């Protein structure tokens, strides 16, 4: 890779929030473990239910996330995907398709896992990302539960007070 291409890649990495605060040495290490690709609109980047092979960071463009064929999210510049399946070894939970032409950074699974081990700051940012996704999923489940609960008003066994048992014995 020429020096100009390497410095351009480093500049792009430094602009991504996931890598903000990384040292120059860390950015060099990260740049050495990924490739930049151009992706055409309509290309499927990963498929739900398949084995994970890579972690992807979007530099430019937009992608659509679907689960069970339903649109669930849009991803844009600075967004990333693929970390969950690489971390836990389970299959992909969603399909991601390019909505527009895109530029992405792709880390193969081995390089992603090596960065997690080598760079504590990167690991912390990935952990924060995963926790954020978990909180969002919990919030969405709670909203669904509330909507379903408004249709049926039978109490949950978990909402009955423990004191109700003692009130009948007096």
- Assess if residue 168 is contained within a domain: no
- Assess if residue 146 is contained within a domain: no
Given a contact cutoff of 8 angstroms between Cβ atoms, the answer to whether 96 and 19 are in contact is: no
- Assess if residue 157 is contained within a domain: no
- Assess if residue 165 is contained within a domain: no
Instruction: State how far the Cα of 31 lies from the Cα of 84, in Å rounded to an integer.
Output: 21
- Assess if residue 161 is contained within a domain: no
List pLDDT tens digits, range 69-110: 999 999 999 999 999 999 999 999 999 999 999 999 999 999
CATH of the domain at 73: 2.60.120.10
Helices (H), 16-152: 24-31, 83-88, 109-118, 120-151
Instruction: State how far the Cα of 7 lies from the Cα of 28, in Å rounded to an integer.
Output: 9
Spatial strand order in the sheet of 63-67: 44-46, 95-98, 63-67, 70-75
Q: How many domains does the chain have?
A: 1
At residue 139, the pLDDT reads 86
Res. 162: pLDDT tops 90: no
Q: 10 Å Cβ neighbour count for 51?
A: 13
- Assess if residue 166 is contained within a domain: no
What is the extent of the structural domain holding 77?
Answer: 7-136
Nearest to 34 by CA among 51, 50, 18: 18
CB neighbours of 161 closer than 8 A, spacing ≥ 6?
none
List pLDDT tens digits, range 47-76: 999 999 999 999 999 999 999 999 999 999
- Assess if residue 21 is contained within a domain: yes
Instruction: State how far the Cα of 156 lies from the Cα of 77, in Å rounded to an integer.
Output: 42
Q: Is 145 exposed, middle or buried (0-12, 13-18, 19+ CB in 10 A)?
A: exposed
List pLDDT tens digits, range 111-146: 999 999 999 999 999 999 899 888 988 888 888 888
CB neighbours of 22 closer than 8 A, spacing ≥ 6?
13, 14, 30, 119, 121, 122
Q: Which residue has the higher pLDDT, 2 or 82?
A: 82
- Assess if residue 49 is contained within a domain: yes
Between the CA of residue 55 and those of 32, 52, 60, 62, 120, what are the distances in Å?
14, 8, 16, 16, 17
């Amino acid at each position: 890779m020429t020096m100009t291409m390497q410095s351009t890649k480093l500049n792009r990495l430094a602009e991504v929030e996931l890598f903000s605060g990384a040292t120059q040495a860390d950015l060099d290490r990260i740049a050495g473990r990924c490739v930049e690709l151009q992706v055409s609109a309509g290309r499927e980047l990963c498929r739900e239910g398949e084995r994970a092979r890579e972690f992807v960071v979007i530099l430019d463009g937009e992608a659509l996330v679907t689960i069970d064929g339903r649109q669930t999210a849009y991803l844009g510049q600075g967004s990333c995907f693929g970390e969950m399946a690489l971390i836990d070894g389970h299959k992909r939970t969603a399909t991601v398709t390019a909505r527009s032409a895109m530029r992405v950074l792709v880390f193969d699974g081995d390089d992603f896992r090596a960065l997690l081990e080598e760079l504590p700051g990167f690991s912390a940012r990935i952990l924060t990302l995963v926790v954020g996704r978990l909180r969002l999923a919990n919030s969405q489940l709670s909203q669904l539960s509330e909507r379903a609960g408004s249709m049926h008003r039978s109490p949950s066994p978990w909402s009955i007070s423990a004191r109700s048992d003692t009130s009948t014995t007096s």
